[in-house]
Amino acid sequence: MTTHASIETNIPGPKASELLERRHQIVPNAVSYGIPTFAAKADGAKVTDVDGNTFIDFAGAIGTINVGHCHPTVTKALHDQVDQYIHTGFNVMMYEPYIELAEKLAALAPGSHDKKVLLQNSGAEAVENAVKVARKYTGRQAVVTFENAFHGRTLMTMSMTSKVKPYKFGFGPFAPEVYKAPFPYPYRKPREMTEEAYTNFMIEEFKKFLLTEVAPETIAAVVMEPVQGEGGFIVPEQRFVQAVKALCEEHGILFVADEIQTGFGRTGKYFAIDHYDVTPDLITVSKSLGAGTPISGVIGRSEIMDAAGAGELGGTYSGNPLGCRAALAAIEVIENEGLNDRALHIGEVVKDRFNRLSEDLDCIGEVRGLGAMVAVEIVEDRETKAPDKPLTQKIIAEAQHAGLLVLGAGLYGNVIRFLMPLVITDEELDEGLSILEKAMKNCYTPQHA
């Protein structure tokens, strides 16, 4: 049997060790890394490091590589663009790829209303701009996000983010007029509550929040991840999302779907919000939109997007031509290779594998997700559901050293999440899952053995 992962040296190997030493001298410690080695090349769902070790990639640069590393359609588009011009600055002399990408995103996004699209560079920048636009349009200041949310690392988006350590600790004061509402965490609902009762309860909690924390008539926008990403791939009940949207409509609040991690095929659709039958007023996109190039955007109702005046939105590199061309190519790949359907298949395979494994391993608390946005929550045992962060870290480290790039997540740091490129082959997927399965079996000692 051919294997796709191959580990030839210790990790870090000799070349990576040298780079690591240099890195420690010059790069701030706050910039973390998943595995102590350095990339030399990447292709499809595999990454090879500077010492010749090849890893199967279940991390996809944190959800950025849905179409795979260096897809030929993407690299050709980038080469073509580099040969024409790299950047003229959209605010100086405009260029067609920006227009073409904006048209494409407007056509793909949910809702038949007229839309306009603003392009930016990063996810956080897209969220910042969604807030700016929402405030301008509504004339209101308050912004509501949710417990467990992650929206970025800039001052505003850090303020909108819910996990204190490491994202916020020591970085205050935070931007004012940001409020966190309770968000469902179905796995951790009170034991005696049915799922239906829990959803009802969470809807009531949201209504109560509008009485106790912030008056609805002062809220510009509610910003929600349709599946929480950094929060641990938490999938809210459709009824909860619809109830929040209905309350937004009742009170003239804009509903913003942050699709930065969920978008472009990850959940089996271009936009995860389409699973909920909800049409957002604004949508933020980034990550897999650009297939690894820095590009992001805000897609929204035309009248909202036009509320700000000339010069009030933009930026030097915003919607840069390379990002636009890569994004257009990525969308073409998703379409031509049926990656939305592929995501559903991958999700089924991954869930099935860990559901079966959970029959033997009591540390698998829950296997959950939407499409290929699947995660496994690791606990001390299924009875107490006590989060087991040390075990999670041990499993991830062991899997990585055996040739699998994989990431943790979650409020308690006890979730293993999967963001593999959707072009991963069945064999690579199977091998990656086997590496993780072995790591779980090796690392877990049953409490009651």
CA-based torsion, 359, 343, 404, 31: positive or negative:
negative
Out of 148, 286, 293, 400, the residue judged to bind ligand PLP by CB under 6 A: 286
Among the residue ranges 134-142, 258-266, 320-328, 355-363, the one whose residues contact ligand PLP (CB under 6 A): 258-266
Which residues, at least 6 apart from 389, have a Cβ–Cβ distance to it below 8 Å? 412, 413, 414
Applying the rule CB under 6 A, the residues between 219 and 238 that interact with ligand PLP are 225, 229-230
Residue 199 touches ligand PLP, criterion: CB under 6 A: no
Among 150, 255, 271, 444, indicate the residue that binds ligand PLP (CB under 6 A): 150
Of 278 and 439, which CB lies nearer to ligand PLP in the complex structure?
278
- Closest residue to ligand PLP, judged by C-beta, is 123
Pick 110 or 229: Cβ nearer ligand PLP? 229
Asked if residue 176 has a cis previous peptide bond (ω within 30° of 0), the answer is no
142: nearest Cα among 207, 223, 203, 208: 223
Helix or strand (DSSP H, E) at 243: helix 238-251
How far lies 411's CA from each of 147, 342, 373, in Å?
9, 29, 17
Paired with 45 in beta bridges are none
260 binds ligand PLP (CB under 6 A): yes
Q: Smallest distance from the beta carbon of 225 to ligand PLP, in angstroms?
A: 5
| Residue from 124, 202, 222, 416 binding ligand PLP (CB under 6 A) | 124
The neighbouring-strand residues paired with 310 are: none
Our finding on whether 274 is near ligand PLP (CB under 6 A) is: no
Instruction: Give the β-pairing of 54-57 and 282-285.
Output: unpaired
Choices 66-74, 120-128, 182-190, 433-441 (CB under 6 A): range interacting with ligand PLP:
120-128
Instruction: Give 62 or 291: the residue with its C-beta nearer to ligand PLP.
Output: 62
Q: Which of 16, 47, 102, 127 binds ligand PLP (CB under 6 A)?
A: 127
From candidates 69, 151, 275, 301, binder to ligand PLP by CB under 6 A: 151
13 or 319: CB nearest ligand PLP: 319
One character per residue 400-439, x = contact with ligand PLP (rule: CB under 6 A): ----------------------------------------
Quick check: 152 binds ligand PLP (CB under 6 A)? yes
Question: Which 8-state DSSP code applies to residue 387?
Answer: B
Distance CA 63, CA 43 (A): 15
Name which of 347, 362, 322 is nearest 269 in CA terms. 347
How far apart CA 380 and CA 320 sit, in angstroms, is 47
Per DSSP, what are the bridge partners of residue 118? Answer: 298
Largest CA distance in the chain: 69
Q: Which stretch binds ligand PLP (CB under 6 A): 19-27, 144-152, 308-316, 397-405?
A: 144-152
Nearer to ligand PLP, 105 or 127 (CB): 127
- 373: tokens are 């946005």
Q: Which residue stretch of 20-28, 42-50, 118-126, 322-330 sits at the interface with ligand PLP (rule: CB under 6 A)? A: 118-126
**Comparison of 298 and 357: residue with beta carbon closer to ligand PLP:** 298
Q: Whose structure tokens read 């509903």?
A: 255
- Closer Cβ to ligand PLP, 13 or 408, answer by number: 408
Q: DSSP states of 304-373 as a string?
A: HHTSS-TTSS--TTTT-HHHHHHHHHHHHHHHHTTHHHHHHHHHHHHHHHHHHHTTT-TTEEEEEEETTE
123 is a site residue for ligand PLP (CB under 6 A): yes
Name the site residues for ligand PLP (rule: CB under 6 A): 62, 122-124, 127, 150-152, 225, 229-230, 258, 260-261, 286
